[in-house]
Structures are given as structure tokens and as C-alpha cells.
Amino acid sequence: MTEALTILLMGAGTAFMVLAAIGIVRLPDLFTRMHAATKVGTLGASGIVLALAVHFDNLGVTTRALFVIGFLFLTAPIAAHMLGRAAYFTGVPFWEGTGVDELKEAGDGGGSRASGDPKSPNAAGEGASRESEDPH
């Protein structure tokens, strides 16, 4: 029973990890890649560490495993948020299919988005409206 649960959790975690790696190679721009890498990667690592806790069945090991899981779930969103915000404001180009830019509409005090590097292919209307100055 314990062995089956260990193998199940380990396999599920590894499946998530492989999906995260495929996503980080296949997805078209930074923000979608970030979506794959941080969320799915965190879930995969947590599954494997949970399998470790089930396998050893020991109070100390379980405590440490839960500490690792809690820490991963606390820090991965913060790191991804800060990276995404920094990348947005330094003008990393969007995928051409991106249609919504809610951070620009909200107009918060983080500064305006720098224009993307000139060699990046901007879709005509979308890129122009995204990089124009704020009206107010």
C-alpha cells in the first residue's frame, strides 16, 4: 500500500516535471513559458517530496518534507511575480497572439513599459498601441 502510493506520487510528480520541461521549450513567449515552468514545476517537485514523506514514514522526514513543500509554494509565486514584472517593464516582447494587457490598463506606479528591442517582430496594431504613451 505504502509502496503503491509512493510510486503513484513519484510518477505523478515526474509527469508534471516532464510537462513543465516540454512547456518551457515549446511555448512561444516568456510569459507563457513562465506559466509552464513555475506552476507545473512547483507541483511536480511537491509531488516527489510528498512521495518521499510517504516512503520513509518518519516524523522528522515528514516534517522536513512538508517544510520543503510549504517553502516551494510560498516562494515560487513571489519569484515568478517579480521576474514577470521586471521582464514586462524592460520590454520583453509578447507573443503576437497576446491580446490583453491589464497591467497597462491599470496604470500603476511601476513606471511605463520600455519599448521592445527593435529587432523583435511586433504585430502591427497590437505592438503600436501597447507601446504608445499613457493618455494621462
Partner 1 sequence: MENGSAIETAGLIVLACLTGSMLLAFYRLVKGPSLPDRVIALDLIAALTVGVCGVYAIVSDQSVFLRPAIALALVSFLGAIAFAYYIRKGGTS
Contact of 56 with 2, CB cutoff 8 Å: no
Give min distance, CB of 135 to partner 1, in A: 25
Q: Which three cell numbers stand for residue 45?
A: 517537485
Q: Where does residue 12 rank: exposed (0-12), middle (13-18), buried (19+ CB within 10 A)? A: middle
Q: Which chain residues interact with partner 1 by CB under 8 A?
A: 3, 6-7, 10-11, 13-14, 17-18, 20-22, 24-25, 30, 33-34, 37-38, 41-42, 44-45, 48-49, 51-52, 55-56, 58, 60-61, 64-65, 67-68, 71-72, 75-76, 78-80, 82-87, 89-90, 92
In whole angstroms, give the CA distance from residue 46 to residue 79.
Answer: 17
Residue with Cβ nearer partner 1 (69 or 101):
69
Residue with Cβ nearer partner 1 (97 or 117):
117
Q: Which residues contact 97 (CB under 8 A, 6 or more apart)?
A: 28
Residue with Cβ nearer partner 1 (41 or 130):
41
